[in-house]
Amino acid sequence: MPCRSRAAMHPAAGNLRPVRAVTRVRPVLTRLLNDLDNARIAMVPQAPAATRPPDTETRPPDTEQRIFDAALTVFARKGRDGARLQEIADHAGINRALLHYYFRTKEQLYEAVFEHGCRQFMAGLSQSLRAEEGVEDSLRAFVYGYIDYIYEHQDMARLMLNECLCGGGVLERHLTAAIEAREEVPGLLLEDRLRAALGAGEIREVDLRHTLLTIVSACLFPFVALPTVRLFHSRAVEDFDRFLEERKAHIVDLLLAGLRPAEEVVRTEALA
């Protein structure tokens, strides 16, 4: 009798080997699928660490101020159009990605620096004016404060001058916003003092707006046209600090003489 296999004798026994094979293969397939998933994750491009903004805890507290200082220097020297964000970042000692974290565009940074400078200037000069009451003291506070600020913040003065030469849109917008918000604008504070003095007969009848323009122009000219000033006045070459002190006193004296009421001028001449 021919020998028959177990599988032939027991048909169900033939299915045992395939089941055991699948059982052995399943863990292998599972590992392969996991490896493929890990490979796909590894292939997804990750953002470079340098482009991620640093955590607040690790960010230097003076970073924004360093950016402001660097931007002011570059904008003052190169102008808004000539300035480059990379150069500002280099001056601030940071990478460009961190600069973009604080300010997304050059225009946004320019506006922020300009607003900061305007507010700083107006706050300091307004405080000096509030401390005075009379016309003479108010004029002296404005003239001395204006010239001192420009001398101590020449980059900001240069930035404002460049802005004016380019149309002055940003400066006009900030001044308009300050007036509409009822913030204290030094020029308007001085105008109010002069108007009150005019009403009280303390100064003669003059166009106050033209008077303000004359005052600001007299303060600005030594900085705007320094080469011309040096041709007219040797002191500006020899000792510029002393020249500015003389300049401040001269402007105030000239204004007081020009604003003196007519009848007071007549009395002074009669006594002479």
Q: Where are the domains of the chain?
A: 61-104, 111-259
CA dist 272 and 264 (Å) reads 12
Task: Compute CA distances 136 → 30, 133, 145, 248, whole Å.
Answer: 91, 9, 14, 13
What pTM value is reported for the model? 0.71
Backbone angles phi, psi at 14, to 5 degrees: -65, -20
Query: Would you state the pLDDT for residue 52?
Result: 38
Backbone angles phi, psi at 124, to 5 degrees: -65, -45
Nearest to 94 by CA among 148, 33, 152, 50: 50
Read off the amino acid at residue 152: E
Nearest to 125 by CA among 60, 172, 193, 57: 193
**CATH for 111-259, options being 3.30.70.890, 3.30.530.20, 3.40.30.10, 1.10.357.10:** 1.10.357.10
Mean pLDDT of 3-7: 45
Q: How many CB atoms lie within 10 A of CB 218?
A: 19
pLDDT at 266 over 90: no
pLDDT range class, residue 270, cuts 50, 70, 90: low
pLDDT range class, residue 245, cuts 50, 70, 90: very high
Which residues, at least 6 apart from 64, have a Cβ–Cβ distance to it below 8 Å? 102
Per-residue model confidence as pLDDT tens digits over 35-62: 444 443 333 333 333 333 444 433 445 8
pLDDT at 10 over 80: no
Per-residue model confidence as pLDDT tens digits over 166-224: 888 888 888 888 888 777 889 889 999 999 999 999 999 999 999 999 999 999 999 98
What is the CATH architecture of 61-104?
Orthogonal Bundle (1.10)
Nearest to 103 by CA among 112, 92, 95, 94: 112
CA dist 79 and 73 (Å) reads 10
Query: Would you state the pLDDT for residue 37?
Result: 44
Q: Is 124 exposed, middle or buried (0-12, 13-18, 19+ CB in 10 A)?
A: middle
Q: What is the mean pLDDT of the chain?
A: 80
